[in-house]
Amino acid sequence: MIVNNPIIRGFYPDPSVCYAEGKFYLICSTMQYFPGVPIFESVDLVHWKQVGNCLTRSNQIDLDKINASGGVFAPTIRYHEGRFYMVTTNDTYHKNFYIYTDDIYGEWSDPIFVDQGGIDPSLFFENGKTYFMSNGNDANGKGCVLQCEIDIETGERLTESVPLWNGNGGRYLESPHMYKFGNYYYLMAAEGGTEYGHMVTIARASSVNGPFNTYKGNPILTNRDFGGHENHIHGIGHADLVTNAEGETFMVCLGFRIQSDWQPYHHLGREVFLVPVTWDGEWIRVGVHGQVFEKMEIPVDSMYDESAEMMNYDFNMPFGDTDRLRMSYIRQPVLDNYDIKDDSITLIPTEINLDATDSPSFIGVRQSEFDTVFSVEVEAGVGEAGITALMDETHHYEIARVLLPDSENAEIITRYHIGSVIGIAGRLSIPKEKSVRLMITSEPANYTFVAVVDGEEHVLGTADTKHLSSEVAAGFTGVFEGVYATNDVITGIGSHVKTDSKDKAVFTNLKFTQD
Which residues are the active-site residues?
14, 174
Q: How far, in Å, CA of 341 to CA of 161, rounded?
A: 49
Report the largest interatomic distance among the alpha carbons of the chain, rounded to a whole angstrom.
78
Contact between 354 and 360 under an 8 Å Cβ cutoff? The reply is yes
* Residue 392 CB partners (closer than 8 Å, separation 6+): 68, 69, 473, 475, 477
| Count of helix runs (H) and strand runs (E) in the chain | 2, 39
Q: How far, in Å, CA of 494 to CA of 507, rounded?
A: 29
Contact between 296 and 289 under an 8 Å Cβ cutoff? The reply is no
Sign of the torsion formed by the C-alpha atoms of 302, 306, 308 and 312: positive
402: Cα within 13 Å, side-chain hemisphere:
23
**Alpha-carbon distance values, 317 to 51, 110, 320, 321, 513 (Å):** 19, 33, 8, 12, 11
Q: What backbone phi and psi angles, to 5 degrees, belong to 24?
A: -100, 140
298: Cα within 13 Å, side-chain hemisphere:
28
Report CA Rg, the chain.
23
Alpha carbon distance, N-terminus to C-terminus of the chain: 23
Sign of the torsion formed by the C-alpha atoms of 480, 486, 489 and 494: negative
Q: How far, in Å, CA of 399 to CA of 438, rounded?
A: 7
Q: How far, in Å, CA of 450 to CA of 460, rounded?
A: 6
What one-letter code names the amino acid at 116? Q
Alpha helices in 309-378 (DSSP H): 321-326
DSSP state of 83: E
Q: How far, in Å, CA of 352 to CA of 362, rounded?
A: 10
Comparing CA positions, the residue from 473, 354, 352, 489 lying closest to residue 419 is 473
Cis peptide upstream of residue 431 (ω within 30 degrees of 0): no
**Bridge partners, 363 (sequence order):** 483
Comparing CA positions, the residue from 261, 245, 330 lying closest to residue 32 is 330
Q: What backbone phi and psi angles, to 5 degrees, belong to 198?
A: -60, 150
